[in-house]
Structure formats: structure tokens, C-alpha cells
Amino acid sequence: MDNYNLLQENIRKRIEVTDDEMSYFIFLLQQKKYTRKQIILREGEISHSFTFIVSGCIKSYLIDKKGEEHILTIAPSDWWITDINSFVSGTPGNLFMEAIEPTTTLLLSREKQELLLAKLPKFEKYFRILTEKAFAVSQQRIIDYMSLTALERLEKFAASYPSAIHSLTQQQIASYIGVTPSFFSRMIKGKNIF
């Protein structure tokens, strides 16, 4: 049951729920464990679920037509992740998802989410708040892309993911902030960011 504590707190921070309601939500979840580098979702597959990270870390990324990987999301524990495009449209997505370390998750499938929302509409609010937050973060990322240099984006990244910065490789961080590994290496030379 321990695995559910983090999620329960996450929910109770946003909405008020009774123990019964919480139990019903938890009943709908499926626990999944992944090993380091295990691929969770491939390009072309439909993202059928929201994934809550209990422990570990998951990245979502796309491979462009030159074969380059670009990390879109880095989701540490206490975060939800999905390919939102695929999830909302129900069509095949263009993202991969991969565990970057051993990871335990709780899966809420689209169907189960619909059951949940039909039975306990107050969870609409929970998901609305989550999505608003995710949208806000995403908008900020666009702003940062448009108005900051690579080094400034790195500094922001380091500030917002203080722990991730040690568990991720430089390649991964470079990919997230949108530069090549070799430029990244040059960029941080001198600056004592690590």
C-alpha cells in the first residue's frame, strides 16, 4: 500500500476526497515496474493511459527525420506523464517513453479514467488542475526557447530540476534544452555548473 501514499498526497493537495473515493481511484490503477532503459511506449503506438511515477524517472522523446533524439519531458517521481497528443485524440503518437532508471508507476487507462470521472466527477477538477499546470509549464518552455540562449535555458533547467541534474547524463540534458552534446560540452566548460 505504501506505493499509493505519494499519489494520495498528490491528490489531497488539490481536491478533497473521502477514503472511499480514494479507494475507488486506487482500485482502478494498475501498478507497473520498469527496468532502466526499458521502453514503455513507441512512436506510432497509441498512448492509452496516464502514468504516475511512484519512484524512478521516465523521459518522453521523439526521433526526428535525421534520427536525432529530442527529449520533451523528464518526469521524476510524483509526476504524471503521457503522450497528451495521442491520449486526447486516441490516435498514434510520435513519442517514445523510456524509463531512465528502475521505475515504479501507477497506470490509469483512458477507460478507467472515464469510469472514474463518471462515478466521481470531483476528479475532473483534479485532472483539470494537473493539465492546467502542465500547460503552464509547456508554455513557459516555448517562451524560454524563443527568448533565451542555450546557456540560460541550462541554468533554468538546473534550477528547476536540481536533483535530476546529477542522475541524468549530459547528453540527456543537452537534448532537453535543445543543443547537441558536443556544443553542450563546450558551453559548460569553465562554468562550474556541475
Partner DNA sequence: TTTGAAAAATGACCTAGGTCAACTGAGATG
Partner DNA sequence: CATCTCAGTTGACCTAGGTCATTTTTCAAA
Decide which of DNA, a copy of itself, none touches 181; Cβ closer than 5 to 8 Å per partner kind.
DNA
CA atoms of 105 and 114, how far apart (whole Å): 20
Tell me if residue 189 falls in helix, strand or coil. Answer: coil
Given 39, 90, 143, 169, the residue binding a copy of itself (CB under 8 A):
143
Kindly report the number of other CB atoms within 10 A of residue 155's CB atom. Answer: 15
Of 121 and 192, CB closest to a copy of itself: 121
Give how far Cα 1 sits from Cα of 53, 54, 110, 123, Å. Answer: 15, 12, 23, 21
- Helices marked H in 15-149: 19-28, 84-89, 110-119, 122-147
CA atoms of 10 and 65, how far apart (whole Å): 38
Of 101 and 144, CB closest to a copy of itself: 144
Give me the least distance between CB of 88 and DNA, in Å please. 29
Residue at 29: amino acid letter:
L
Decide which of DNA, a copy of itself, none touches 163; Cβ closer than 5 to 8 Å per partner kind.
none
Decide which of a copy of itself, DNA, none touches 142; Cβ closer than 5 to 8 Å per partner kind.
a copy of itself
Of 30 and 170, CB closest to DNA: 170
CA atoms of 117 and 128, how far apart (whole Å): 12
- Is residue 36 a contact residue for a copy of itself (CB under 8 A)? no
* Site size toward a copy of itself, by CB under 8 A: 37
Residues forming contacts to a copy of itself in the complex (CB under 8 A) are 62, 64-65, 68, 70, 72, 84-85, 87-89, 94, 117, 121-122, 124-125, 127-129, 131-136, 138-143, 145-148, 178
